[in-house]
Amino acid sequence: MDLDIGSLRVFLACVRLGSISRAAHAFGRTQPALSQQLRRLEELVGDALFQRAAKGVSLTDAGMALLPYAERIVALSGEALAGVPRATLSGRCSVGLLEDLTGTALPAAFADFSCLHPSTTLELLVLGGAETMGALESGRIQLALCDAAFLERPLRWGTHVPLWWAAAEGFDAFADPLPLVLFSEPCRWRNVIFSALAQAGRPWKVAFESGSLSAVQAAVRAGVGVATLLPTATGPGIARVPDPVGLPALPDIEIGLARRAGNEEDGLVNAVEALLKQLVA
């Protein structure tokens, strides 16, 4: 019994969009068709992958366990289909990355890429948004994948991902004032959060802040407060807060891909760019 890559793509889309109906819209298919495909995947795995509710879906323990494998299988499939001959790739490619995306299959996929192309060296750098364009212009990195607001237009490629309210299990989302776990300044999303809460009339307080994703995750996991995270940054012990608890809706975040000018003929950079698109799309 083999895992079907198409079903894994559907599973990943439901995770990232938080809803089977939104995933069906993205694929241009009906919700019942996607639900049936997910049921077949659950039968194969032997356990439920999602907790279903009127407002969307959240991962079960089994779904959380499957997630990194699904990301890696889909990423490797995309790389295999690209059909880049190993012998033609050599050199070094550095990628600037939004820290929230390090929880995806990117690091593992880069490791696999290096094994397939032993004459290459890949580097992942976690950069703040404001640092990204400077790193591209100086040649410190060849590619950047981050919040599109920090990148010059036109982008090489972009996609929208949801911003989630995320908390530990059992967190009281009706707490007054609402305790927030935030990324330290400078963080563009802080004003987005404050504006949404003000419009909803929700009092709040800053309970914890840090410039480190792992520190923010640890505070959320410990029940210190609620944070706003991309789906890829939730992880074990942190779950999306269901919509009906009174927290305001948050806008999607545009993730963009930029490339240093003048390296359009570099085969290694072309291959890494294609890999990034496959992983994040």
pTM above 0.75, yes or no: no
Helices marked H in 46-105: 61-82
- Is 271 found in the same domain as 144? yes
Per-residue pLDDT band at 83 (split at 50, 70, 90) = low
Give 47's DSSP letter. Answer: S
Task: Quote the CA–CA distance of 36 and 39 in Å, as a whole number.
Answer: 5
Helix, strand or coil, per DSSP, at residue 144: strand
Range of the domain at 272: 88-161+255-280
pLDDT given for residue 50 in this prediction = 92
Contacts of 257 (CB under 8 A, 6+ apart): 143, 144, 145, 155, 156, 157, 158, 273, 276, 277, 280
Mean pLDDT in residue range 169-190 = 88
Mean pLDDT in residue range 240-267 = 83
CATH number, position 168: 3.40.190.10
Question: What stretch of H or E contains 7?
Answer: helix 5-17
- Is 275 found in the same domain as 240? no
pLDDT tens sequence across 189-210:
888 899 999 998 899 999 999 9
CATH number, position 55: 1.10.10.10
Q: How many domains does the chain have?
A: 3
139: left (phi over 0), alpha (psi -120 to 50) or beta: left
- Is 16 found in the same domain as 148? no
> What sign does the CA torsion over 95, 101, 105, 107 have?
positive
26, 10 in Cβ contact below 8 A?
Answer: no
Phi, psi dihedrals of residue 260, rounded to the nearest 5°: -65, 135
- Is 265 found in the same domain as 151? yes
- Is 266 found in the same domain as 143? yes
